[in-house]
Structure 1
């Protein structure tokens, strides 16, 4: 049995970790997540493990680079109006923004601490619902750009479901794919950066800490690969099989 709870309202892919991404009409869902999602990243050569990842927490201007995944390769539009491939020229651009020695990953390089993941910190996919966004807006008192939270899937709920946190430990079906909802997503200072203007507003993180215990959205992993599309219905499945 399955219960329809809503539909996909947006699909986002971020081919380069901490760069701006692209909105998709549809995408293949692979074992590691959306095809082409976070297949590249920059590393801090002074660190080890997942702490090696260079992100917009320390270099906010990374968000001004827009990455897309085209013909099995990464292309980047820079804030200077130039178009870059995933190469040393782009590394030089980001290196100029940091005093630390940086390097860039190979395409589809495994996570330093989990070979099954790519350039993500904890899980393959991030899901966020419109209900959660509206709750945060009500507490914050300002209009909220959901891209601050860098979701892969935005879901529009159609029922009185409590929200995505209530699905942890269960499965959902989207298109012909299935996902396991694994855990909360604990938020950091990244959400204080407006992805359009790069301006910081620490008050958002304070509200998320006070009212949501820093947890916004949920991490999910692929149980069954398949193709998903914007507008696909989302079904909450009965208890996950033991």
Structure 2
């Protein structure tokens, strides 16, 4: 149930959480959730596993679907995430992941999966599994949580002139925007409340060629990136960092908080 902002605090209702998505393995297909804990690094278990190019450092070291589009065809779930999110499972380590291959084989996070992904590139790659206590943002590219509104997706679909799958944008939260909500640009630098968590909106998400890939077929259509560049200056969605950990669920209202 949504926690209302404190009495006397100036706030603006922006809408409600429509969808929650988590991607336990960076650049693999993710899972849609009814609820999730939001930790200091983002959604619990989000980008907790990644493939790495050991010859590079920082963000550039992550192997993604830009290099291996076939990664998108692998679907991932945290095995017993419900117990972990309720706090009834062991606190150390993330749950194991279950990977479903494009031909419906069940795989684990092990050498077999590494060997299979390695067949798609000549670059020598390795696997990295983060711990919940990791002080950084796990396998995130920027801030902790990525937010996209349904209104912007509808606008972009009209501009592009083709059916638009929201999964192209790999948002953690899709917000059903209220009709009287202020422009998204005005959210930057402000705090948001959703469920029992709070976020700070940091910046627009500047899009790259990843959005050109169909999440089901991996076919590339660069006309979408061209439209996003020409019409939206590459800005689709907002990056936010976590200022207060908490629980969020579908249907929770989203408030823009004052600085009071």
Which one of 101, 110, 124 corresponds to residue 78 of structure 1? 101
- Superposed, 1:144-183 pairs within 5 Å as 144-183=164-203
Q: What whole-Å deviation, never above 9, does each CA across 1:28-77 have from its counterpart, x for those lacking one?
A: 11001000110000011222221110000010000000011122221111
Which one of 181, 200, 222 corresponds to residue 242 of structure 2? 222
Structure 1 unaligned segments of length 5 or more: list them.
none
2:255 counterpart residue number: 235
1:14 counterpart residue number: 23
Which one of 32, 39, 44 corresponds to residue 35 of structure 1? 44
Q: What whole-Å deviation, never above 9, does each CA across 1:90-110 have from its counterpart, x for those lacking one?
A: 111101111110000023389
Which one of 193, 198, 203 corresponds to residue 218 of structure 2? 198
1:89 counterpart residue number: 112
Question: How far apart are the structure 2 equivalents of 1:5 and 1:121?
Answer: 26
Question: How far apart are the structure 1 equivalents of 2:68 and 2:79?
Answer: 25
Per the alignment, in what secondary structure is the counterpart of residue 171 of structure 2?
coil
Q: What whole-Å deviation, never above 9, does each CA across 1:106-136 have from its counterpart, x for those lacking one?
A: 233899xxx4211011111100001111111
**In the alignment, is the contact (CA less than 8 A) between 1:131 and 1:163 conserved in 2?**
no
2:35 counterpart residue number: 26
Question: How far apart are the structure 2 equivalents of 1:109 and 1:98?
Answer: 29
**In the alignment, is the contact (CA less than 8 A) between 2:13 and 2:181 conserved in 1?**
no
Question: How far apart are the structure 1 equivalents of 2:50 and 2:131?
Answer: 9
**In the alignment, is the contact (CA less than 8 A) between 1:173 and 1:234 conserved in 2?**
yes
**In the alignment, is the contact (CA less than 8 A) between 2:22 and 2:172 conserved in 1?**
yes
Question: What's the offset of the Cα at 1:162?
Answer: 4.2
What root-mean-square deviation, in Å, do the aligned CA atoms of Structure 1 and Structure 2 show?
Answer: 1.5
Per the alignment, in what secondary structure is the counterpart of residue 196 of structure 1?
coil
Question: How far apart are the structure 1 equivalents of 2:251 and 2:183?
Answer: 18
2:124 counterpart residue number: 101
Per the alignment, in what secondary structure is the counterpart of residue 41 of structure 1?
strand
Provide the TM-score with structure 2 as the length reference: 0.87
Provide the TM-score with structure 1 as the length reference: 0.94
Residue 118 in structure 1 maps to residue 138 in structure 2:
yes
**In the alignment, is the contact (CA less than 8 A) between 1:129 and 1:163 conserved in 2?**
no
**In the alignment, is the contact (CA less than 8 A) between 1:12 and 1:24 conserved in 2?**
yes
**In the alignment, is the contact (CA less than 8 A) between 1:40 and 1:108 conserved in 2?**
no
Per the alignment, in what secondary structure is the counterpart of residue 112 of structure 2?
helix
CA shift in 2, pair 1:232/1:93, >3 Å? same
Question: What's the offset of the Cα at 1:160?
Answer: 2.5
Structure 2 unaligned segments of length 5 or more: list them.
1-9, 81-94
Question: What's the offset of the Cα at 1:197?
Answer: 1.5
1:142 counterpart residue number: 162
CA shift in 2, pair 1:110/1:95, >3 Å? farther
Q: Which moved more, 1:66-75 or 1:102-111?
A: 102-111
